[in-house]
């Protein structure tokens, strides 16, 4: 049974109670306190403009362990060329706006609503959300953003205006080696080619909680 959340009480049911599609709860708000509680319990919001807030805890998590990153020879050449300059937390608002405005195959519109953007910018201001920016000269051409919880980087979205820019952002994130894993949330073939794979929710929660 999907749980209806109240805006007046900040809590979540156990993530193991999510349905087959990963949907766990509906409603609540996107306050920093609620978002951080969600991420610390393996839960994240994902919904469209006209929907209520939907909270997910999929039974399988698509993740990338930084030390398992696979680099193709062609991507290695791109990185060695010095074309891209990579920064961190220097243009968070620009990155989240670019992610929201990027068209994606098989997807109409964006799930990064105005309400969602404000919530994550607030998390960034509080030091919990982070961005990676990829520059070609002074032009922002790619990047990603997410939430850092217990040495797990919960990736929210990425964008690329030129070939390989978002890959460069993810590779740079992995090479920092500051994370136990990167939660990619949604399966894509290019992330799989870089070493991402599925693990169980149980294993994910153990890593998240350092059990």
Comparing C-alpha atoms, which of 180, 95, 174, 195 is closest to residue 142?
95
Secondary structure E strands in the chain: 3-5, 23-27, 44-45, 54-56, 60-64, 85-88, 129-136, 139-149, 152-160, 181-183, 197-200
Which residues lie across from 55 on neighbouring strands? 25, 45
**Of 28-37, 68-77, 111-120, which one has max mean pLDDT?**
28-37
Helix (H) or strand (E) holding 16: none
Q: Is residue 108 pLDDT above 60, yes or no?
A: no
* pLDDT per residue as tens digits for the range 185-198: 889 898 999 999 99
For residue 118, name the pLDDT band (cuts at 50, 70, 90): very high
Predicted local distance difference test score (pLDDT) of residue 109: 45
Q: Is residue 15 pLDDT above 60, yes or no?
A: yes
Fold match, 3-59 / 62-208: no
62-208 CATH: 3.40.630.70
Beta carbons of 132 and 114 less than 8 angstroms apart: no
Which residues lie across from 183 on neighbouring strands? 63, 154
3-59 CATH: 3.30.70.3550
Comparing C-alpha atoms, which of 158, 100, 149 is closest to residue 126?
149
Q: How does the average pLDDT of the chain come out, rounded?
A: 92
Q: What are the residue ranges spanned by the domains of the chain?
A: 3-59, 62-208
Q: Is residue 5 pLDDT above 70, yes or no?
A: yes
Global pTM?
0.92
Predicted local distance difference test score (pLDDT) of residue 82: 87
């Amino acid at each position: 049974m999907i749980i209806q959340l109240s805006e007046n009480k900040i809590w979540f049911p156990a993530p193991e109670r999510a349905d087959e599609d990963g949907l766990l709860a509906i409603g609540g708000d996107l306050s920093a306190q609620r978002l951080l509680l969600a991420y610390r319990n393996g839960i994240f919001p994902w919904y469209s403009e006209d929907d209520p807030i939907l909270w997910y805890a999929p039974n399988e998590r698509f993740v990338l362990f930084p030390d398992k990153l696979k680099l193709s020879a062609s991507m290695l050449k791109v990185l060695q060329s010095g074309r891209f300059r990579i920064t961190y937390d220097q243009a968070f608002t620009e990155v989240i706006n670019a992610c929201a405005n990027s068209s994606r195959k098989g997807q109409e519109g964006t799930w990064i609503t105005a309400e969602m953007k404000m919530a994550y910018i607030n998390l960034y201001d509080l030091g919990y959300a982070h961005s990676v920016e990829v520059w070609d000269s002074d032009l922002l051409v790619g990047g990603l953003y997410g939430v850092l919880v217990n040495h797990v980087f919960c990736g929210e979205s990425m964008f690329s205006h030129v070939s390989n820019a978002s890959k460069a952002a993810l590779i740079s994130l992995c090479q920092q080696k500051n994370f136990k894993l990167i939660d990619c949330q949604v399966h894509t073939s290019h992330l799989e080619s870089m070493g991402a794979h599925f693990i169980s929710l149980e294993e994910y929660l153990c890593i998240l909680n350092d059990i």
